[in-house]
Structure 1
Amino acid sequence: MVVELGRLLEAGSTGMGETVIVLERRHGQRPGAVDGLTLPLTAEQRTSMRGRRTTLCGREVLLQLPRQGPLVPGDLLSDRQDSNLVRVMAAEERLLEVRAESPLKLLQAAYHLGNRHVALDLQPDRLLLLDDPVLAAMLVGRGLHVRPCKQAFQPEGGAYEGHHH
């Protein structure tokens, strides 16, 4: 049974009549490229180049991409023959929006969250982070304004994101 399932996946079939699109190529950003399917991915999913995902219209795809850093919203992916184009988008996620009375307080919040290795989407007047009740309580305790929201999450990549050994 395991061998048979492996053959089905290699062939790109679900065994249920619909073919799974196996995405093996990354094309980066191509403005003006003809859009095909749209693939919403969370920030964490954009760092994983392997696994099953589902497009906006419910079509299953299988990622088998080269490891070249995280996917970026707007990136185009395709199968080996370039017959199926899929555009990556940032999926909405449950987040916390953090605002402060002053830029210094917001900077201090970013420092404390960074010290805990929390992924942050840094914006001029607010911080966004994944919803976490413990962190929310800590931030409220520091006098910050915290509210839940749901939107795309695009955290900073970190100092070594583009660095490869």
Structure 2
Amino acid sequence: MTPHPPTESEIRQLLAIAMAYDHRKPGDAQVMAWHEASRRALWTFDEAREAILNHFATSTAYLMPGHVTSRIREARSQPPPRAALPSPPANPASPERIRVIVRDLAARLGWVARRPSPQEQAALAYACPYCHAAVGRRCTRQLARGHRRGQYVEIRDLHPSRVELARADQEGQQ
């Protein structure tokens, strides 16, 4: 969309703004000259009004159409102002919010929670003699390759020695 130049009536309004600052007495010839300058330089009324106000805010020079054109071109070369981003929620990573997101994602993907068997549940009451996992914690193993080498990760099943320890203790109590 190409900007349309101000009408003659709008040029008179622009000259009236300038007249308030520098007491010019615009006549028909000046209106025609400004109208021609606005047509050649493709001013819009709003841009020209802003340029005139900015000129008188920063300069005492007598305002000519060339000043308006220069200020409009300068303003057009500036990037548009960025809209302010909305404020994020108070705590976007709160534990409750994370649980809700993970639960919803799991439901969408059709994942079901793996519940420990009664045998595993009983074994979790003991510390693991193999990996030394604490009571109530899952067994772990140390990664031997990759960028996480040396880190400990939980394993899916419990170590057999832990399960056997729990079974032996259960049988010994009976």
The normalised TM-score by structure 2 is: 0.16
Q: Give 1 or 2 for the bigger CA radius of gyration.
A: 2
The normalised TM-score by structure 1 is: 0.17
> Comparing both chains, which one has the higher relative contact order based on Cα–Cα distances under 8 Å and sequence gaps of 6 or more?
1
**Whose strand proportion is higher, 1 or 2?**
1
